[in-house]
Structure 1
Amino acid sequence: MINKEYNRRDVLKLSGLAGLGMALSPLLSSFNFKDEILLRKIPSFNQSLPVIGLGTWQTFDVGSSMAEKTRLTEVLEEMNTLKGTVIDSSPMYGTSESVVGDLTQESDFKDDFFYATKVWTKGKDEGIGQMQNSFKRMKREQMDLMQIHNLVDWKIHVKTLRDWKEQGKIKYWGITHYTDDSHAQLEQVIKAEKPDFVQFNYSILSRHAEKSLFETVDKYNTATLINRPFETGRLFRATKGKEIPTWAKDYNINSWGQFFLKFILSNELVTCIIPGTSKPHHMIDNMMAGYGKMPDQKGREKMYNYIKSL
């Protein structure tokens, strides 16, 4: 639960954005700092995760830039303050793993996070070597979640990940992809191998996963990480300059980002969403989607129809 001593001024101060109080006022106006962030259980395991996390594709690929690292440190601080935990990375994402490792290691809350990364190569030995490097870059002795990135050589890597889980090197293992065309294969792997997690694309205007993928994860007790919740910015471009409907306030929605994220969270089979950002005030905005009332079935369809009508 958020520290009950926090108030609107504290969050602005912590974010280094006190001078932007007027700009952030709509985001904070209906926020109750005594609320708890929504948690969803990892099926079949006695652990729950906050429903909003952080993706690092492009946003954390900043190399040695101190200015960028300072800003990303603030992003992680905001995430921790608002009780987010899941950080998702990959060796595919340039220097992102190393930046995550460096910045979290320097923090006072490095063990508060849930660290997830991926294996993205072919061959057993190559996969083991790449994953070992990921441990070093992210400065972890145990990885919370290791995923097979875009199903690359998944039949080989599954065996390694099962062994590593048994040995305690990783807590969970999973599979990922980011296109509608991949959903059928993801379902096949879930049915055959029963991974702990599956990561895939899903948004208010990209609902292909509702055809059968969500039914499969429900049947096989698979946790879900959602990527591309904003469709790489397409949703923001479509709503630029347009007002949020007044009825969205019923769901504690104060921005288009929260609108899109709360639609996704209204699907109870979503465990966690991992939007990427390199900006502290966007991290605050994203995290707030995990608080307050969530849309029911009637509300989510109202949201969908409104976006379709724009």
Structure 2
Amino acid sequence: MKSRRYPDRATRRDVLQIGMGAALAGALFPTRVLPAEAMLARPIPSSGEALPVIGLGTSRVFDVGVDEAGRSACRAVLEALRAGGATLVDSSPMYRSAEEVAGDLAAELQLTDQLFWATKVWADGAAAGIEQMEDSMRLFDTQQIDLMQVHNLRDWQTHMPVLRDWKAEGRIRYIGITHFRAAAFDDLERVINATELDFVQLNYSIAEREAEERLLPLCADKGIATLINRPFARGALFAAVEGRQVPQWAAEFGAVSWGQFFLKFILSHPAATCLIPATRKARHMVDNVGAGFGPLPDQEQRRKMITFMQSL
């Protein structure tokens, strides 16, 4: 079994010095003095393991098959992810070639054992689920997946005992469930209350705040880590601010771009463990990583951010 050799977390300055061009960094952070602290990390409650708060989603963006231009773009994203001190890569068999592409590129970059691999089982029946999970291990070139999640709760009652067995055997380290729609929150809540979990993945953003009402507090109370999907509401947030400058007062909590404005809002909720924005552009990955450094909005600033977005 491959050992996990997570390097010391990189500092914000390392983003500029390790694997990223100065011109790119200068374009993103032209006037800011970058602090030398490490990216914010939050503990996984069930183990205490520290997890960097920014990760990477691969839905759609890593489904490039054998296309070399697409793979080159994804390779640069993985380089930017690690250069910034982030580790978590989230995928699924549902995302077609995304697992294979992520696994191949991580191997090329010699990052396989440095990444926190999160993927999903998305099948009906135990046998089909086991086959999927074994495929994921092969595609990631690892004998241990960090986090296996039941995708969109599909046949979760069948898969959960298998996940527990695999966890006991050391084939997976953490188990969880996922969904991407607030309409499924009642179902998520029932499963959270019915079974023991390490992670819950759900949608949350400044535009989709339903998770604040019950699920984020529930996960905090039960000691469950969270992965946050749809942090940009699938692009709707950028559309809402198109042509506008980031408010000057956003500098108070270190947001130098709209992406960081939206991500820092989510991170200011203490129950948000790790955010998984999807991208195929290295400059966006660098920008996303930047949200994991510096101060976060306080409660008054959060209210100001909400009011601002509602005024658009």
Tell me if both proteins adopt one fold, taking TM over 0.5 as the criterion: yes
What is the percentage of aligned positions where both structures have the same residue? 47
1:15 to 4, 17, 20: 20
Q: Give the Cα–Cα distance (whole angstroms) in 2 for the partners of residues 2 and 174 of structure 1.
A: 27
Q: How many positions carry a matched residue from both structures?
A: 304
Provide the TM-score with structure 1 as the length reference.
0.94
Superposition pairs of residues 133-148 of structure 1, within 5 angstroms? 133-148=135-150
Check if 1:174 corresponds to 2:176. yes
Superposition pairs of residues 275-294 of structure 1, within 5 angstroms? 275-294=277-296
Q: Give the Cα–Cα distance (whole angstroms) in 1 for the partners of residues 90 and 115 of structure 2.
A: 10
1:301 corresponds to:
303
Unaligned runs of 5+ in 2: 1-8
**SS of 1:87's equivalent?**
strand
CA contact 2:88–2:116 (8 Å) conserved in 1 = yes
Superposition pairs of residues 88-103 of structure 1, within 5 angstroms? 88-103=90-105
Check if 1:274 corresponds to 2:276. yes
1:212 to 209, 214, 223: 214
1:123 corresponds to:
125
Q: Give the Cα–Cα distance (whole angstroms) in 2 for the partners of residues 119 and 286 of structure 1.
A: 27
Check if 1:234 corresponds to 2:236. yes
Residue 74 of structure 1 deviates from its aligned partner by 1.1
Residue 15 of structure 1 deviates from its aligned partner by 3.0
Q: Give the Cα–Cα distance (whole angstroms) in 1 for the partners of residues 230 and 119 of structure 2.
A: 16
Provide the TM-score with structure 2 as the length reference.
0.94
Give the direction of change, closer, same or farther, for the CA distance of 1:165–1:67 in structure 2 (3 Å limit).
same
Amino acid at match of 1:44: S
Q: Give the Cα–Cα distance (whole angstroms) in 2 for the partners of residues 74 and 133 of structure 1.
A: 25
1:151 corresponds to:
153
CA contact 1:15–1:280 (8 Å) conserved in 2 = no
Residue 162 of structure 1 deviates from its aligned partner by 0.5
Check if 1:2 corresponds to 2:10. yes
Check if 1:66 corresponds to 2:68. yes
Amino acid at match of 1:116: A
Q: Deviations over 1:195-233 (max 9, x none)?
A: 110000000011111111112101211100000000110
Residue 298 of structure 1 deviates from its aligned partner by 1.0
CA contact 2:12–2:39 (8 Å) conserved in 1 = no
Poorly superposed stretches of 4+, deviation over 6 Å: none
Give the direction of change, closer, same or farther, for the CA distance of 1:74–1:23 in structure 2 (3 Å limit).
same
Q: Give the Cα–Cα distance (whole angstroms) in 1 for the partners of residues 12 and 139 of structure 2.
A: 35
Q: Give the Cα–Cα distance (whole angstroms) in 1 for the partners of residues 144 and 10 of structure 2.
A: 27
Amino acid at match of 2:309: I
Give the direction of change, closer, same or farther, for the CA distance of 1:230–1:31 in structure 2 (3 Å limit).
farther
Q: Give the Cα–Cα distance (whole angstroms) in 1 for the partners of residues 246 and 206 of structure 2.
A: 15
1:24 corresponds to:
28
